[in-house]
Amino acid sequence: MVAQEDFVARRLAMVEQQIERRGIRSARVLDAMRAVKREGFVPSEIRNSAYEDRALSIEEGQTISQPYIVALMVDALELAPTDRVLEIGTGSGYAAAVLCEVAGEVYTIERLEWLAELGHKRLVRNGYESIHTRHGDGTLGWSEQAPFDAISVAACGPEVPPCLAEQLAIGGRLVMPVGKTSRDQHLIRRLRRSQHTFVDEDLGKVRFVPLIPDHT
C-alpha cells in the first residue's frame, strides 16, 4: 500500500512534469490539480497508477482522462471563481472535482446510471458534496439550470450538440472533442459571442470515448 505522503509527492511531481512543462500557466488550474487527490477517483486496484501520464480504465468500460488533458480542458474554459459550469460525462468524478476547485458552481451529468452513482459517492467521499450530479442524457444538457458560463464535454461527438451550445451564456465557453472517427478528434473551444454567433477554435488532436445520446 502506498503511503499518503507518497501520493502527495506523486501529485506534485505530476503537476510539475506533466502539466507545467507542457505549457499550462494558470496558477488557479495548477493549484486545483495539486489539490484534488486523483487516487481517490480510480478503482482501488489501480490507485498506484493514479499519477501516471496516461488515461486509465475505470468502471463500465470508461476512462479517467490523462492528467494533462484534464488540466488543458479546465484551462481552456477560462473560469472565474463565480462561474457556473456544466460537465458532460461525470465518469470517475475527478474532472468535476478539479472544476469545483476553480469555478463557483458545478453541475455534472453521467449517462451510465451505475457510474453516475459511483461518481457521486467518490465526490462526496473526497469532500465535494456541493457538486450537483445527475444521471441522464448529457447531449440534452441541464436546461433548468441554464445558462452556464462554461460547459466541458468529456466525450467525442461528430459535432457540438445544439442543446449544449444553446445553454451557454453570452460570453460562455464550451470545450469538447469533436470528430467523426476515433482517430480524427480535435479539442474544440466554442465561444458564444451573441445569441446567434459562435466562434470555434481548434486546440489540437485528442482521443476520447464516444458521446452517446440515450435516444440512439
Mind telling me the catalytic residues? 65
- Across-strand partners of 133? 108
Specify the 3-state DSSP secondary structure of 9. Answer: helix
DSSP states of 149-179: EEEEE-SBBSS--HHHHHTEEEEEEEEEEEE
The C-alpha cell of 143 is what? Answer: 436546461
Long-range CB contacts (within 8 A, 24+) of 98-101: 98/32, 98/33, 98/36, 98/70, 98/71, 98/74, 99/74, 99/152, 100/128, 100/130, 100/131, 101/28, 101/31, 101/32, 101/35, 101/36
Peptide bond into 81 cis (omega under 30): no
Strands (E), 67-206: 84-88, 105-110, 132-135, 148-153, 168-181, 184-192, 198-206
